[in-house]
Amino acid sequence: MTLPENLGRFVGALWSPAVRLGATLRHARLLHPEGITFRAELSALDTHASLQALAVHLPGPALVRLSTALWRGHREWPDVLGVAVRLRSTEAVTEEPSAGDQDLLFATLRSPWTLGLAPLTTDIHDWLKNDYYAVSPFQVEGLGRVKLRLVSHAEEVPGQSRVEKLQAAVQAGRARFTFEARPLRGELAGRWHPLAELRLAEEVSLDPARLRFWPFRTGRGITPVGFIHSLRIPTYRQSQKARAPH
């Protein structure tokens, strides 16, 4: 484990009591307490041969939760929006992960340094008019370190609220994102490259208290690295211990 990762665990441990208290008082996740969940599908796109080490792990069924970071009750106030993706090894729609599943977490901020500006740059009225970043890098065998993002396909759909717009887009087959990667080294470094298309297929009802995304669920070999990912280890554990059914 690197020095930044050890530091991340240390800082996360310092924050953990506050995170656990906040989750206890909120009776939900401290951040991203409210969301809407969909069965989804990832299909392969043509990509560079050097990215195949990552691209081959993406196609197949998925479970996707779109959420708001701060507010509950469908309030469309300044916020950071999130997309949590579970790459599934089976077609089953369930809160429980299976062997081989991978969880990937994205939000409408490019890096930790833009956190303060993210609520001002996020279109909080439409999930499909934002791009979502994994913030910290991942290690992929045969490729090295990469950053990941989801790029939206913004299309006008009817609806007054962001939930209505999202539901209408899903029903029309228009709720789609492009899964992209940016290698940090090598000939492809510094540019985003498409890998797969993520399509939301059907809204599903799951128990939010049992549906627990974990950044270190790495069944597809996409391993989180760095300070921010390591900071999540103690804070996520304390948040999940404190979470009550809601």
Q: Mean pLDDT over all residues of the chain?
A: 86
DSSP string, 9-72: HHHHHHHHHHHHHHHHHHTS-SSS-EEEEEEEEEEE----GGGHHHHTTS-EEEEEEEEESS--
Is 40 in a helix, a strand, or coil? strand
Structure tokens at 116: 């303060």
Where do the structural domains in the chain lie, given as residue ranges?
3-242
What integer is the mean pLDDT of 21-28? 56
- CA separation (Å) from 140 to 27, 50, 75, 209? 36, 12, 38, 31
Kindly report the backbone phi and psi dihedral angles of residue 229, in degrees, each rounded to the nearest multiple of 5, phi listed first: -60, -40
> In whole angstroms, what is the distance from residue 244 CA to residue 99 CA?
25
Strand partners, 95: none
What integer is the mean pLDDT of 187-211? 94
- In this predicted structure, the answer to whether residue 245 has a pLDDT above a threshold of 50 is no
> In whole angstroms, what is the distance from residue 224 CA to residue 227 CA?
10
pLDDT band at residue 96 using 50, 70 and 90 as cut-offs: very high
pLDDT band at residue 124 using 50, 70 and 90 as cut-offs: very high
- In this predicted structure, the answer to whether residue 184 has a pLDDT above a threshold of 90 is yes
Amino acid of residue 188:
L
End-to-end CA distance of the chain: 36
Question: What confidence score (pLDDT) does residue 244 get?
Answer: 47
Q: The CATH number of 3-242 is which of 2.40.420.20, 1.10.10.10, 3.30.365.10, 2.40.180.10? A: 2.40.180.10
pLDDT band at residue 70 using 50, 70 and 90 as cut-offs: confident
CA-based diameter of the chain, in Å? 49
User: Mind spelling out the 3-state secondary structure of 111-180?
Assistant: CHHHCCCHHHHCCCCCHHHCCEECCCCEEECCCEEEEEEEEECCCCCCCCCHHHHHHHHHHCCCCEEEEE
Instruction: Report yes or no: 64 and 105 within 8 Å, Cβ to Cβ.
Output: no
> In whole angstroms, what is the distance from residue 116 CA to residue 164 CA?
28
